[in-house]
Amino acid sequence: MEPATLRPDLYDPVALASLGHLEVVARWIVDGFLSGLHRSPRKGFSVEFAEFRPYQPGDDLRYVDWKIAARADRWVVKQYEEETNLRATLVLDVSRSMEWRGAPAELRLTKRAYAEQLVAALALLLLRQRDAVGLIRFDDAVRSSIPPRARSTQWRRIAGALVQQAGGRASDLAAALGQAARLVTRRGMVILVSDLLVDVDQAMPALRGLRAAGHDVVVLHVMDPAERHFSLAGEAQYEDPETALAVPAAGADVRAAYDHTVTTVISEWRDALGAMGAGYELVLTDQPYALPLRRAFEARQRRP
């Protein structure tokens, strides 16, 4: 393992977020991640031309446009829309509950801020691997829908969509996954990034539909550490950010029941997704980005 100083993806998320713009953070994360990753050797070209890109050492000379090289003394390679290993759609939950964090800003990112940086890094990582990437953002409706593309301009489109606002309270996961199925018209990958504050049984039909269509499905379950284990004490009023339901309770009275419920829900998601051949990973917002990135990318590399 390389030293953390050479691997920004191993930094504390809050420290990395202090770099500023989402695009800067994502590039740092991906550069660090790729420094510790063996790149996939698979490449391929189809008949559907997309654009030119500058020649890079190691490119197949068969795809150099020699007419442009002779006329403009500039080496470019013909890139094709199907010059990809797969088409991936990133499905990001931006509902009200994703704005929550269990510690002050200087100690922890909100679930949404962490998830946005993770999604931006995943998109850039897949694009650098010549995969086509798209994005869906949803709360109680689909807020952004970008079809998968492998073109160089796709990164800007995704990064721009990630910083847009969303105002819905609840999560209409089924509608978002249905949109993902329409965008990925041939077998590919769907990566869902959400805090999964939805009923397991309501989400399963849409997830099964994606698996039945041949898609790889990976679910990254984003949680704040304070959600995973109840640590509050004393009297307080607890409010659901998506339904606005408020309940007064004493911490000591609900701690055991809360921890049992959360553990049970995590097991239900993991078992239900595992039974259909989908991936599930719990992601805590105080974890370095390398952990969920590697889990998601390992699922991508398992494709034949």
Secondary structure, 3-state, 94-130:
CCHHHHCCCCCCCCCCCHHHHHHHHHHHHHHHHHHCC
Alpha carbons 281 and 291: distance in angstroms, whole number? 10
**Residue 196: pLDDT over 70:** yes
Question: Could you read off the pLDDT of 253-279 as tens digits, one per residue?
Answer: 677 888 889 999 999 999 999 999 999
Question: Could you read off the pLDDT of 99-143 as tens digits, one per residue?
Answer: 999 888 778 999 999 999 999 999 988 888 788 899 999 999 999
Quick count: other Cβ atoms within 10 Å of Cβ 17?
Answer: 17
Question: Could you read off the pLDDT of 49-105 as tens digits, one per residue?
Answer: 556 778 777 677 877 888 888 888 888 887 654 445 678 999 999 999 999 998 887
Direct distance between the N- and C-terminal alpha carbons of the chain, in angstroms, rounded to an integer: 27
**Residue 5: pLDDT over 70:** no
Provide φ and ψ at 63, rounded to 5°.
-105, 10
Q: Which amino acid is at 85?
A: N
The DSSP letter of residue 278 is -
Which residues lie closer than 8 Å to 269 by C-beta, 6 or more apart?
Answer: 196, 200, 219, 221, 280
Q: Which domains are delineated in the chain? A: 49-80 (no CATH), 85-301 (3.40.50.410)
Tell me the sheet residues that pair with 217.
190
Task: Provide DSSP, 37-54.
Answer: SPPP------S-EEEEEE
Confidence at 41, pLDDT banded by 50, 70, 90:
very low
Parallel/antiparallel/unpaired status of strands 142-149 and 49-54: unpaired
Per-residue tokens: 266: 């995590």
Task: Provide DSSP, 212-274.
Answer: HTT-EEEEEEEE-HHHHS----SEEEEE-TTT--EEEEEHHHHHHHHHHHHHHHHHHHHHHHH
Q: Of residues 9 and 266, which shows the higher confidence score?
A: 266
Per-residue tokens: 6: 């050479």
Quick count: other Cβ atoms within 10 Å of Cβ 186?
Answer: 10
**Residue 29: pLDDT over 70:** yes
